[in-house]
Chain A
């Protein structure tokens, strides 16, 4: 158990819908990272938040957004969903200093029908 929690574990929805994925980092970690993992693309970095502020952005679509709240939990919002958005979405956290060692949650499996 990494100490990072993610909900829900599974999510099935339809095209055009909007969903919210939730992540709670390890106790004491200030940084939260979101990744998308699909079979053909591997693990792709989406976005990072540090202590409530956006710090780094990766290949995140404009239909996707995230935020980190004062209690440090984070949410990833996916809207106007398409079939191609079906993937595993992982959250990771780190202390965010030095070596950037990240600890991953169990992931949310999103299926868009």
Chain B
């Protein structure tokens, strides 16, 4: 059983469309991170959210942390082919220094 559930698993959209991916758990997080990984490369940290209800923007990407700190979403506006990749959420749940990763959302943006 995944502690962090990500949905959808796969998403294929046309350039210019908007999309939202979700990261959910029954546990409370002290913080949550979003990473993007391209094939054959390591994950790259996009953002860290800490406070319940927090919203952070990174250009066309908007990250939201749920009020109860159990879930998060990533919204991409006007997706571009360069956004293609595997989006991973990760959380440190019990101050154990271990990051638990979700299974990821694989995004393909078609030109």
Chain A interface residues (CB < 8 Å from chain B): 2, 4, 31, 33, 42-45, 48, 50, 55-56, 58, 90, 92, 96, 99-107, 109
Q: Please report whether the interface of chain A is mostly helix, strand, loop or mixed according to DSSP.
A: strand
Q: Which of B40, B43, B98 contacts A58 (CB 8 A)?
A: B98
Contact B42 A42 (CB under 8 A): no
A106: chain B residues at CB < 8 Å are 41-42
CA distance in complex: A90, B96 (Å): 19
Quick check: is B48 within 8 A (CB to CB) of the other chain?
yes
Q: Which residue on chain A has the smallest CB distance to residue B31? A: A99
Q: B44 contacts which chain A residues (CB < 8 A)?
A: 2, 104
| Structural contact, B104 and A45, CB atoms closer than 8 A | no
B103 touches A105 (CB 8 A): no
Asked if B42 and A45 sit within 8 Å, CB to CB, the answer is no
Q: Are A43 and B101 in contact (CB under 8 A)?
A: yes
A32, chain B: closest CB distance, angstroms: 11
Among B96, B98, B104, contact of A42 (Cβ-Cβ < 8 Å): B104
Nearest chain B CB to A40's CB is how many angstroms away? 10
